[in-house]
A and B are shown apart, each in its own frame.
Chain A
Amino acid sequence: MSIISVKNIHKTYNEKTVPVHALRGVDLEISEGEFTAIVGPSGSGKTTLLNIIGGLDRPTEGDIRLEQTELSTLNENQLIEFRKNNIGFIFQSYNLIPVLTSKENVEFVMLLQNRPKKEMETRAKELLHAVGLSDKLDQRPAQLSGGQQQRVAVARALASKPRFVLADEPTANLDSKSTADLLDIMAKLNQEEQITFVFSTHDNRVIERARRVVTMVDGKIESDETFNR
């Protein structure tokens, strides 16, 4: 069953001045437990598609349904609530809260969900352990390497127990070793906990590990391949 259903999505920027067609009729179905990479050159529309799936941007035309929820029916506050409870985000530049420690960064999302303090603490420790950062609980982002920060970001993305995780170029700023470590962690979580991962990337190291690769060119899906990895 599809967890993400995208139907005939169009997105045009600067409609009234110089229109830029970022998406030109995209259809995509993503099932629970997939490990999908959306690839393509810069300007192909992969980040725009990811933003629309994540409810951060609205399409100019078309429907987007996440499980049973039609995103176009939600107002701004409902979208924030929906994102908080259903989607985990991983950003290219980690975007951790610089004044909080690793553990506090992971706890923060749960705090927004009003989870009990004890539960927040336990889950934050478990997640940081899962990403190999048990010894960095009290370090702030500035005291961590890029790879470590991105691992904290993965732990944070999973903290809210989301239905799926959207990662926008998650390895763009990482070296080979950190990239390999991060992909191992995400693949493990995907397989063991059936968490759906959707990446936008043009990093071959990520593409090689993805079990489904959706290639976009000029705002359209050019190919959609599945691999048995």
Chain B
Amino acid sequence: MLLKIAWRNIWRSKLRSIVVISSIAIGVWSLVFLLSFSRGMILTYIDKAIENQTSHIQIHNPAFINADVDKNELERAAFNYLSDPEGIELELSNYDEIEAFAFRSYAHQTFLGVAGKTGVANVFGINPEQEKLVTNIHQQIIEGDYFESQKRNQILISRAQAEKYNIGLKKKVILSFTDQSGIPTKVAFRVCGIYDTKNQLLDQFNVFVRQKDLNRILNIPDQSHEVAILLKDVHQSDEVKAGIAAALPGQLVRVYDEISPEIELFNVQIELSTFIFTFIFMLGLIFGIINTMLMAVLERMRELGMLMAIGLNKVKVFQMITLETLLLGIVSAPIGMLIGYISVGYFQQVGLDLSHFSKGMQKFGLSEVVYPVSSADMYITFGVAVLLTAILGSIYPALKAIRLRPVEAIRKV
């Protein structure tokens, strides 16, 4: 009966209840959409990073990675190659979970010069056929081709670099290296293709050459600096990593979020922003609920007094007010979630085109079309948050109700 009374009490002031229910529903919907949007944006970034360069797992010589963070070691980095490429290849061929892998050579912060202009580039020496199976640079060629010619010293540059240095296909690019004996060497490469990954962070610096060309220049024949591994399923990353690391104790094996720390940062950001947005939402909601329920209690003081006079004890009065507030949450939260689910589902299919802001987004490696991503835990979090807020918001009005002395209600008669 208390439930029945609470439910019917909600609809005594239809307009007020509809306003409260709508505002909670809109709040939940905006939270679901906003967080699905930012999650989608970040997951798109992670997917693109994996597709364009990182892959799921990479193997390095530990000294090579240390050099990456120590500028003094940088010049020697090129000579910290993988110690046993054949052994690695053999080990990787044991895993059914692995879709493909590619060996790469790498030259950090190489000087790049074109017609009087200079800059810095990260030079990837790739085996084009292997690389095709692991990353999708070959699908992002906007001009020229992907190492179709077997000529020596071909180079793939990005559209950003082409614009920066004002060069096009077939033009010469000079790269400056330091070989194993410390002697600087300048080598001319000819642009065979221009790619565009739409990720300005990567495109700004990355150039691709054949591995055999780079190895010849660095004088490290048949060596590689890294192996990029693409798995059939991203969720197997940690498991496969553990297997490889155990089999190859001298090598550094890392999964994608260890390779690109910003991915971990983004993951933390998702969690933090979920927490902060939920907290702000709850804070706003709690005052809305207190206001509404306080009005409901003050309007019904005489009735509550009568109920207490005829034998409704304080615990039950408290329960009744809390139940009314909870019912408001129970009605509104699923509405907000449903609208959120539908709108997220819709934009998951068609994508949210943000090309208007694409320059700014590309600068940070974000895609111009975002596909929002929601998850069950997101809905559970918001559902629990709304119900918790409803309970918290009902405490003050319920206390106000139980402090009422029934005789005061009767005196008003």
Contact = CB atoms under 8 A, between A and B. Distances in A.
Interface stretch (A65-73, A81-89, A121-129, A204-212): A81-89
Given A57-B407, A95-B413, A168-B410, A77 B1 contact: no
Contacts, number: 73
A77 B313 contact: yes
B9 A109 contact: no
Nearest to B316: A112
Given A47-B411, A51-B407, A92-B413, A97 B307 contact: yes
B288 interface: no
Interface string A11-42: 00000000000000000000000000000000
Contacts of A77: 313-314
B300 to A, nearest CB: 9
B407 A99 contact: no
B5 A84 contact: no
Contacts of A85: 311
Given A95-B302, A97-B5, A83 B413 contact: no
B410 A80 contact: no
Nearest to B8: A99
Contacts of B9: 99
Residue from A95, A107, A113 with most neighbouring chain B CB atoms (10 Å): A95
Given A56-B407, A91-B306, A92-B413, A98 B12 contact: yes
B265 interface: no
Interface in A93-125: 93, 95, 97-100, 104, 107-109, 111-113
A59 interface: no
Contacts of A169: 413
A169 B368 CA distance: 75
A56 B309 contact: yes
Please report whether the interface of chain B is mostly helix, strand, loop or mixed according to DSSP: helix
A111 B1 CA distance: 8
Contacts of A89: 306, 309-310
B406 interface: yes
Contact of A107 (B1, B316, B407, B413): B1
Interface in B357-397: none
Contact of B410 (A51, A100, A104): A51
Given A51-B407, A95-B302, A111-B1, A80 B308 contact: yes
B133 interface: no
Contacts of A51: 407, 410-411
Contacts of B406: 56
A56 B406 CA distance: 6
Given A47-B411, A95-B413, A100 B313 contact: no
Contacts of B302: 93, 95
A77 B315 CA distance: 10
B276 interface: no
Contacts of B316: 112
A168 B407 CA distance: 12
Contacts of A54: 309
A206 B283 CA distance: 56
B303 interface: yes
Contacts of B311: 80-81, 83-85, 109, 112-113, 160
A98 B302 CA distance: 12
Contacts of B307: 97
A76 B411 CA distance: 19
Contacts of A160: 310-311
Contacts of A111: 1
Residue from B4, B9, B309, B314 with most neighbouring chain A CB atoms (10 Å): B309
Contacts of A56: 309, 405-407, 410
Contact of B310 (A57, A83, A100, A104): A83
B178 to A, nearest CB: 85
Contact of B413 (A91, A108, A109): A91
A142 B266 CA distance: 58
Contacts of A93: 302, 413
A160 B4 CA distance: 20
B359 to A, nearest CB: 59
Contacts of B268: none
Interface string A47-63: 10001001011000000
B253 to A, nearest CB: 66
B242 interface: no
B1 A108 contact: yes
Contacts of A168: 410, 413
Contact of B8 (A80, A100, A109): A100
Interface in B1-15: 1, 4-5, 8-9, 12
Interface of B: 1, 4-5, 8-9, 12, 302-303, 306-314, 316, 405-407, 409-411, 413
26 contacts: A47-B410, A51-B411, A56-B309, A56-B410, A77-B314, A81-B313, A83-B310, A84-B310, A85-B311, A89-B306, A92-B413, A95-B302, A95-B413, A97-B5, A97-B307, A98-B303, A100-B5, A104-B1, A107-B1, A108-B1, A108-B310, A111-B1, A112-B311, A156-B310, A160-B310, A160-B311
Interface of A: 47, 51, 54, 56-57, 76-77, 80-81, 83-85, 89, 91-93, 95, 97-100, 104, 107-109, 111-113, 156, 160, 168-169
Given A89-B310, A100-B4, 12 more contacts: A47-B410, A56-B309, A57-B407, A80-B312, A80-B313, A80-B314, A83-B310, A83-B311, A89-B306, A91-B306, A98-B12, A109-B310
